[in-house]
Structure 1
């Protein structure tokens, strides 16, 4: 199974033409800039039209109008808004944590954790500041998903492996909001 990760597009999703093929596309939040309903609808219309079989997204700190949403009405079955909830796709267990929500909501036994915030001290430094979340880091090392996908720290784009966990910051814009990075594709074994 091929996973395509993107994050921190801040209303510039329409610039992402010729995205790589994948079974699942995952957006790790900050798809808007001001967090308005209009920006969110523009993103969702774009996201719905993508050719990927399954689509997953979580909120970021800019996506204000969805912070308290428990779901979004009338989304097709292949679109998964993982606001403190999980889904299973072809035997792979995903869980998405809404921005600034408690890491205690993350269950054991997941394969892919999707958050907006990075864990502290792992791909979290941007503009000289570590933006990571310490309790989130502790929880990730406790439950040990195969992948932890996130964004938020724009200049910390990259992938690292620690203790058997692949950590990936998929922010596509740098700190100056230039589209600088390429989306990441991961190969995941089906169960």
Structure 2
């Protein structure tokens, strides 16, 4: 399976539309910030445009999306995996959108205790699958993927705790535009693709007979 993972669209989907016109993937994952503070109807329109390529799209909202966007995601052709899980073949996928609290009081922020309770419940439903993809907008705390240029780590402590305990195969996150890259927490690979509105994405290759060693990730410029 070939997966295109993106985050932080902020209302600009031109890079992904251009890429999908010339390239084939099996699944698209969007890790939040579909819009730049709305409107929620724009999120629905953008997701429908991406879904027009007849490729399954799984999505969570980001902290810069309005709280009401859940309804618009559910009304679109994409699949909302916020606090939900799905299984495709032997691949379990779950998600948690929004972010831990920020200094900016953005629309979709959650206290750490709520993140832990709801994200843990979602991942528990897929933890026994051979491959597990944990899709979060916020990155886990104290990794290369949550590091600001100032040297401060701003990720979620709850997401880190869940990853430490459950050890999903991959955590695909976003939120911190400057922290595009990969890291590891135990056996879990953490990937922050970077900002799609600047053309960044991640290609994930999963072989049919996948083990952890047969999963490849590559951050690309579309």
TM-score bracket, normalised by the shorter chain, equals 0.7 to 0.9
State the TM-score, normalizing by the size of structure 2. 0.73
For 1:161-172, list aligned pairs within 5 A: 161-172=184-195
User: Any unmatched runs of 5+ in structure 1?
Assistant: none
Aligned to 1:12: 12
Off by >4 Å, runs of 4+ in structure 1: 67-71
Q: Which has the higher helix share?
A: 2
Deviation by residue 1:59-107 (Cα, 9 ceiling, x = unmatched): 100111446649613x44xx32112100111221101113235222223
User: 2:60 aligned to 55, 58, 75, which one?
Assistant: 58
How do 1:100-119 and structure 2 match up within 5 A? 100=110, 101-105=114-118, 106=120, 107-108=123-124, 109=127, 111-119=132-140
What TM-score, normalized by structure 1, do the two folds share? 0.84
Matching residue of 1:84: 83
Rounded Cα–Cα distance in structure 2 between residues aligned with 1:71 and 1:32: 12
CA contact (8 A) 1:90 1:190 kept: no
For residue 27 of structure 1, give the secondary structure of its aligned residue in structure 2: strand
Post-superposition offset of 1:184: 1.0
Q: CA RMSD in A?
A: 2.3
- Whether 1:182 aligns to 2:200 is yes
How many residue pairs get aligned? The number is 182
Task: Provide the C-alpha distance between the structure 2 equivalents of 1:85 and 1:70, rounded to a whole number of angstroms.
Answer: 16
Distance 1:170 1:149 in 2: 8
The CA distance in 1 between the partners of 2:49 and 2:70, in whole Å, is 22
Going from structure 1 to structure 2, the CA distance change for 1:94 and 1:36 (only over 3 Å counts) comes to same
Deviation at 1:170, TM superposition (A): 1.6
Which residues of structure 2 form unaligned runs of 5+? 99-109, 210-222
